Structure 1
Amino acid sequence: MNFTKVKAIKWAKRTGYVVSILLALFICFYMSIYAGLWGKIPDSEELALLKQSQATQILDANNDLIGKIYVYDRQSITYSDFPQHLIDALIATEDTRFYEHNGIDNKSLLRVFFKSILMSNESSGGGSTITLQLAKNLFGRKDYGAIGIVVNKIRESIVARRIEDLYSKEEILTLYLNTVPFPDNTYGIESASEKFFNVHTKDLTLVQSATLVGSLKANTSYNPRRYPEKSAARKNVVIHQMEKYGCLSEAQATKAKTDSIVVDYQNYSPNEGLAPYFRAEIKKQLDSLLNQKKYLKPDGEPYNIYHDGLKIHTTLDNTMQRYAEAAMTEHMSDLQRQFEKAYGQNAPWLKGKAVFEAAKKQLKAYKKLKAQGLDEKAIGDSLKRTHQIDLFSWDASTVKSMSTLDSLEYYSKFLNAGLVSLDPSNGAIKAYVGGIDYSFFQFDHIVQSKRQVGSTFKPIVYTAALESGMDPCTYFPLKAITYTDVDNWRPTNAGISEDEDLNYSLQEALSNSVNTIAVKVLYETGIDKVIAQAKQMGIKSEIEAVPSIALGSSNLTVLELAKAYTTYVNGSKTSNPVFITKIEDKDGNIIASYNDLYPDQAEQTMAFSDDTRQVMLEFMKATVNAGTAARLRSTYQLSNAIAGKTGTTQDNKDGWFVAIMPKLVTVTWVGNDNQQIGFSSTGLGQGANSALPIFAKYLQRLNADSNYNSITKASFESTPESVLNALNCEPTKADGFFKRLFGGNKVERKFEKKEKKEDGGIFGWLKKKDKDN
């Protein structure tokens, strides 16, 4: 044997030893991973009970998705919901031998080894199967340092084999498509379909399926919303693969490649998308509701709204909500410009002004620095340091470098708004706008904010008066009175001379929102009776027993006020606001039904007589037809059946409008979150100008949509002849000669509580008259 041959044998033996040792080490390494020394690997029992976090879905009254609550934006569907072209696109692009391997595609791995590693040919692919990707999606990867990729790949191969042993190919595809991550932090094909194309998975087109499958290669780069050109190019790669493997004909592929991608993006993040304030309120209610004992899971554990895939059916109408949000945006963007222009350089929110300085001292940052013992100069220097912040603007939100004080000045100028619409027959909330932009202003002005309600409280005063027996044709003088026992309080009227020798009927006084008469009606009725009437109409907030409640000095929420006004078109009964109609688990089992959630809704008692209700409706119809809300008819040309009431608070700080329609009650409010800042003038800040237009623009949109004819074309019921007769009087009348001569109207008196004898309600006077006849 020659020397060369001996040497070759030795080298062969040594290589064999090295290979054997490396193989042994690899086997030991593999077994250590298999045994769980690098972290527990899910066993067959765990894999058989796979549970993935699923988003809780919030659905509107039409069963349309309006939002989600989630950690991962995921919702599961079944294999039968997948169109064939989606399956074809996935397999042709991600795993062409999916039906042939048992979780690991050895041919692909060899191709990757020889082409990618030895020949540096990147076109060979990654060798990862759908099952391997599923294993990664389900259990993620851990950081093992330099050898992390090897450890994770082996772990995934073990899990993949176990998955293949337990599940059919259809079940694996179902698990994969329900868990795979798509762009914009979206998990699962159903969530991605709804987010990017506003359709369910079963309704995806070929182009849409190819687009979503194409995005799996790189979620960011192939995001169809952010990078449409890259997404289109990747879509065409998927179509090419489908043609290559016989899933599409050449003609079908050619057409699909030329078809454009039309994104219909739906944002379901908590801070964006449709009805964010409503969705936030739903979440608060769920947090409380689902911890109650009667709503626990069968095992006694509470449902987790982030993981358990619940379905929350609500009363909201998504189209009405869009109209409401659009109306608010249209009006408020214009009103904000007028608001700022009217103040000019005298704006109270500017640095150095008393309002700004007071607001500065309420900042958390200011209080924290003050607690540290810093003086005003040091605090001011700290608050002047700039940093990057997101800025809200009606034109376009931007990022800008600002100090804390700059930010305070900038945001203090913004007016905010609220709108809520209810079906008065059952309390169902149909539209809910809690503010101008939830991303920047998360305080909810429907249920969290309590503001003075101004003249919108006057109908409650008048209702109590009628219930106490006051004649609907009672006249009160306009003249102002000084109430000597209330710090010489002298309420006056805006735009009406209270010194005229003129008397107004109740209808004329309410429809024109006459302050002097509202206080006199309260005086005659009694404060206690008015407060009791408010409580009977569903108001829970405390109402202070002071004369100024006649002018709306009480602080109520928008929803509370809307609830009270439902009595006027719901048979004198209060409709409790309804948010949720039922709650289902992910399998469709009902956790809570409407009757469970609102057991007392049908047991409401009448807050006042039907005669009073009919008279008050006539009063408030007059407000719209000829009173303070007449611009609904003149400016906005709305001919719908509407009754209503405007409201403006002291110093024009709050503007209100309540619209009553036969099948819809809507309340709108506008004001500044800093209650020290009001409008610069009544002309700009009065409810008819600040709040009413939101409703008007909202109703115009509803009128233009024939789907809402049942609401917009509804008529009030016929007014009884007895009510019409009771209202048959002149709106105003002058004082007689002797009254003018001898000054019969008082100019001063004490505002002492005045209790009247009960006389049978509003029409006690009418019954007495009939009896006398």
Structure 2
Amino acid sequence: MATKTTKAKKADNQDFSKYIRWFWMAFTGGVLIFAFVFLLASWGAFGEMPDHTVLENPRTNLASEIISSDDQTLAKFYFEDNRTPVGYDELPKNLVDALVATEDIRFYDHSGIDARGFLRAVFAKLTLRDKGGASTITQQLARQLFIGVRDKESTTNALLQKVKEWVIATRLERQYTKEEIIAMYFNIYDFGNNADGIRSAARIYFGKEPRELDVKESAMLVGMFKNSSLYNPRPSRNPVGTRNRRNVVLAQMAKYDYISEETKDSLQATELDLNYTPESHREGLATYFRAHLTNVMKEWIAENPKPDGTKYNLYNDGLKIYTTIDSRMQKYAEDAIAQHMPRLQAEFDNQNTPDRNPTAPFLDLESEEIDGIMKSAIRRSERRRHMKYDLGKTDKEIEASFNKPTPMSVFAWREGQYVEIDTVMKPIDSIRYYKKFLRASMMSMDPKTGHVKAWVGGMNYRHFQYDMVKQGKRQIGSTFKPFVYATAIDQLQLSPCDSFPKAPITIEANKFGNPEAWTTKNSGGGYSGFQTLKSALANSTNTITARLMNEIGPQPVVEMAQKLGVEQDILPVPAIALGTPDISVYEMVAAYGTFANKGVYNKPVLVTRIEDKNGTVLFQFQPESRDVLSEEVAYVTVNLMEGVTQYGSGQRLRDKWRVNQTLFKEIGTGYPYEFDNPIAGKTGTTQNQSDGWFMGMVPNLVTGVWVGGEDRAAHFKSINYGQGAAMALPIWGLYMKACYADDNLNVSEEEFERPSNLSINLDCTNFADYDTDEDADDEENVSDEIDF
């Protein structure tokens, strides 16, 4: 019996050993199969796999970055990916802690695959207690860089994708440090709302750089990794869900002792506190400058290929474009326009009510002329272009569409602020609606270097896209007169103290090639007596400017203007003395900069250098300058223009309360300016008050401002509001007040530097003006007591 029992035990042991062998054989086979699957995946059997070179340089679209002179990001160029990578050292510790605590607590202990986490996830799925996946941070990075969205419909494909993730993750771990993997993960993720990567996300959602994020802000952004579309913090999307998800991240941070329980509880009770600052090509700072820079960069790219002969891509090659724009001065410039234009527009609207002006916003036009303006606007419209060339619509269909009510958002000023109004309007009516708005533009430049510090092409790029700094050229009025005076001083060695009669002058027909006789007059009368050149320029006396033109002729003045940087052709006729040419703000600022820079012209500079994504310098600007005037002539011209702000049409820059007090109380403070430092400048007003200009200079900053309607037929009826001193000068004053209040800008309050060899007399004490006519003789200073 005992023997039988022993045999039975041996048989049982043999059967058990068989199971053990089968187990190890199955286990070994499984391991081999698993390893073989890994090997096949690494060979690319389940789809293309990144090689060593690709792993070193993952293919990601990087936005090109526009950087200001004060090292701020103005904006980016991108099509789909608004991504600018940052290094690990630019990420705050709380952001990294939030990521690790929430996504992969054993991140620093594994080599790309967390076996323990994977087995836990498998067990959870088998027991129907799914608590989420077990993808490590490295696996998630691998998926986003090289694989894409996982196929949820096919289990087989999903498993194969998982294997590919594992293979790539292990390779990434060998290729990069843990810190580099975390930085890449933050840089690759799409946080929604054009927030590609952590830098864009921090700027768009909180108006900060990543290093400035606090704990709760970091927690919100990390929470978005779960699903940025679902957990979108914008008020119109899912702020409640986003806040709940943020609190989950804070709980995870407390669970793993990255923050205390007390900190967690206090932060979970707070709101999201967004500072939503969208980044798009039509929003943000310096929109008009950025639009112009696009064309500048496209020209540069066409002429400067990569070493391999291919062209740089402005939108995904990650170029860094260092510009001369100062972000602070740019903001002050935009703010100045935003402060002044609603006030000016309110008065313009008040003067153009249907009762006061049945043809509003146009003045002095017949109905046929207005119809012509409207038809021309339709021909130039983007709506017509799109319908005709993109949609292939007939002219009849296009015309009908302009008379069909359409939902749209339109620009408006409300209580001194820009707003968009949702309305239903016929497109033809919207064209007329926009015709009523006065436009404004300005450019500011350091004359010593040519560096452009501020560029504002209009009031709002979303609704007024035509850039009036460089694209638009408008009649410049009396701001042209310093060119005449400078030429006369250069040729005749005149002094600001020299006096001329104010009487009308006629330049005969055929003199200087002029086909007809030309007689000038002063808009306010005042023809008796004499006037010094300094007083004549300060008060914009037309007859004296005409006398200078009669002495020197128009051709030398045209040549002077062209040397000063005026680009378009100017017809050499005497009438140019009063500012008939159309010139851009860009050209005028450069020209006036020559006077401030001792007679040396500097071509305006926008870009100082361009780097590729690795920091290699691709372009370094070379200044373009030329001598135009002697230092003496330039200084005397500046001295003449100082008279404009001392006792001429720009005198209100120094006044205290020569304004309408009632209106002042209603619209708030900001005027007047009370400058007491040396300022040279010139106002300009064109025929019918269609354009208002002010050119203002201090030794290290020249700024030009233009204000007017899109059409010259939209203008103020009277010169009280229609002069440059009322339309444009206040913008210059507001801008300069803000610049002077910022001590970091170092805008000069000093005297213009006097040449050591000055031989022209500037002391006009014994050369006083005299006249016998009480009429005003300044076309731009008829009313000092205006409402601005």
The TM-score by the shorter chain falls in which range?
Answer: 0.7 to 0.9
What does residue 228 of structure 2 align with?
219
What does residue 248 of structure 1 align with?
259
> Equivalents in 1 of 2:350, 2:370: separation in Å?
18
Q: Which moved more, 1:581-590 or 1:237-246?
A: 581-590
Structure 1 counterpart of 2:725, one-letter code: A
| Structure 1 residue matching 2:302: 3-state secondary structure | coil
Deviation, 1:152, is 5.2
Alignment of 1:162-561 (within 5 A): 162-226=171-235, 229-258=240-269, 261-293=272-304, 296-345=305-354, 346-349=358-361, 354-364=369-379, 380-395=399-414, 396-469=419-492, 471-472=494-495, 473-479=498-504, 481=506, 486-487=515-516, 489-494=518-523, 496-498=524-526, 500-561=527-588
> Equivalents in 2 of 1:410, 1:584: separation in Å?
44
Deviation, 1:424, is 1.0
Write out per-residue CA displacement over residues 467-516 of structure 1, whole angstroms, 9 at most, x where no aligned residue.
1115330313232648556555443323x215x32222222211111223
Q: 1:617/1:67 Cα in 2 relative to 1: closer, same or farther (>3 Å)?
A: same
> Equivalents in 2 of 1:701, 1:620: separation in Å?
23
> Equivalents in 1 of 2:677, 2:158: separation in Å?
68
Give 5+ residue unaligned stretches, structure 1: 1-24, 737-773
> Equivalents in 1 of 2:591, 2:218: separation in Å?
50
Structure 2 counterpart of 1:681, from 691, 694, 718: 718
Write out per-residue CA displacement over residues 530-581 of structure 1, whole angstroms, 9 at most, x where no aligned residue.
1111122222221111222111111111111111101222111112111112
The alignment yields a C-alpha RMSD, in angstroms, of 3.4
| Structure 2 residue matching 1:538: 3-state secondary structure | coil
Structure 2 counterpart of 1:477, one-letter code: K
Structure 2 counterpart of 1:400, one-letter code: T
Structure 2 counterpart of 1:214, one-letter code: G
What does residue 765 of structure 1 align with?
none
Structure 1 counterpart of 2:677, from 630, 634, 640: 640
Conserved in 2, the CA contact under 8 Å of 1:568 and 1:617? yes
Write out per-residue CA displacement over residues 406-461 of structure 1, whole angstroms, 9 at most, x where no aligned residue.
22112221221111111111111111111111122222111111111111000001
What does residue 754 of structure 1 align with?
none
> Equivalents in 2 of 1:614, 1:657: separation in Å?
19
* TM-score for both structures, normalised by structure 1: 0.82
| Structure 2 residue matching 1:449: 3-state secondary structure | coil
> Equivalents in 2 of 1:681, 1:90: separation in Å?
65
Conserved in 1, the CA contact under 8 Å of 2:594 and 2:602? yes
What does residue 786 of structure 2 align with?
none
Structure 2 counterpart of 1:491, one-letter code: T
**2:136 equivalent to 1:129:** yes
Conserved in 1, the CA contact under 8 Å of 2:507 and 2:550? no
Q: 1:731/1:38 Cα in 2 relative to 1: closer, same or farther (>3 Å)?
A: farther
Deviation, 1:374, is 7.3
What does residue 148 of structure 2 align with?
141
| Structure 1 residue matching 2:750: 3-state secondary structure | coil
| Structure 2 residue matching 1:312: 3-state secondary structure | strand
Structure 2 counterpart of 1:478, one-letter code: A
What does residue 68 of structure 2 align with?
60
Q: 1:144/1:360 Cα in 2 relative to 1: closer, same or farther (>3 Å)?
A: farther
Q: 1:623/1:238 Cα in 2 relative to 1: closer, same or farther (>3 Å)?
A: same
Deviation, 1:387, is 2.6
Write out per-residue CA displacement over residues 306-361 of structure 1, whole angstroms, 9 at most, x where no aligned residue.
22222222111111111111011011122112112212113445896732543224
Structure 2 counterpart of 1:653, from 668, 673, 690: 690
> Equivalents in 1 of 2:743, 2:412: separation in Å?
34
Structure 1 counterpart of 2:749, from 713, 737, 743: 713
Q: Percent identity?
A: 35
Q: 1:646/1:31 Cα in 2 relative to 1: closer, same or farther (>3 Å)?
A: same
| Structure 2 residue matching 1:717: 3-state secondary structure | coil
Q: 1:700/1:49 Cα in 2 relative to 1: closer, same or farther (>3 Å)?
A: closer
What does residue 630 of structure 1 align with?
651
Structure 2 counterpart of 1:534, one-letter code: A
**2:606 equivalent to 1:598:** no
**2:69 equivalent to 1:40:** no
What does residue 95 of structure 1 align with?
104
> Equivalents in 1 of 2:192, 2:395: separation in Å?
50
Give 5+ residue unaligned stretches, structure 2: 1-32, 656-671, 774-788
Structure 1 counterpart of 2:640, from 619, 623, 630: 619
Conserved in 1, the CA contact under 8 Å of 2:438 and 2:710? yes
Task: Report the number of matched residues.
Answer: 701
Q: Which moved more, 1:447-456 or 1:265-274?
A: 265-274
Write out per-residue CA displacement over residues 363-384 of structure 1, whole angstroms, 9 at most, x where no aligned residue.
24669999999788x7653321
Conserved in 1, the CA contact under 8 Å of 2:64 and 2:78? yes
Q: 1:82/1:367 Cα in 2 relative to 1: closer, same or farther (>3 Å)?
A: closer
**2:105 equivalent to 1:79:** no
> Equivalents in 1 of 2:85, 2:762: separation in Å?
63
Structure 2 counterpart of 1:598, one-letter code: Q
Structure 2 counterpart of 1:600, one-letter code: E
Structure 2 counterpart of 1:716, one-letter code: F
Q: 1:399/1:128 Cα in 2 relative to 1: closer, same or farther (>3 Å)?
A: farther
| Structure 2 residue matching 1:184: 3-state secondary structure | coil
Q: 1:715/1:149 Cα in 2 relative to 1: closer, same or farther (>3 Å)?
A: farther
* TM-score for both structures, normalised by structure 2: 0.81
> Equivalents in 2 of 1:74, 1:53: separation in Å?
7
> Equivalents in 1 of 2:260, 2:115: separation in Å?
30
> Equivalents in 2 of 1:725, 1:570: separation in Å?
19
Structure 1 counterpart of 2:350, one-letter code: K
Deviation, 1:698, is 0.8
Write out per-residue CA displacement over residues 72-96 of structure 1, whole angstroms, 9 at most, x where no aligned residue.
1112222233333222210111223
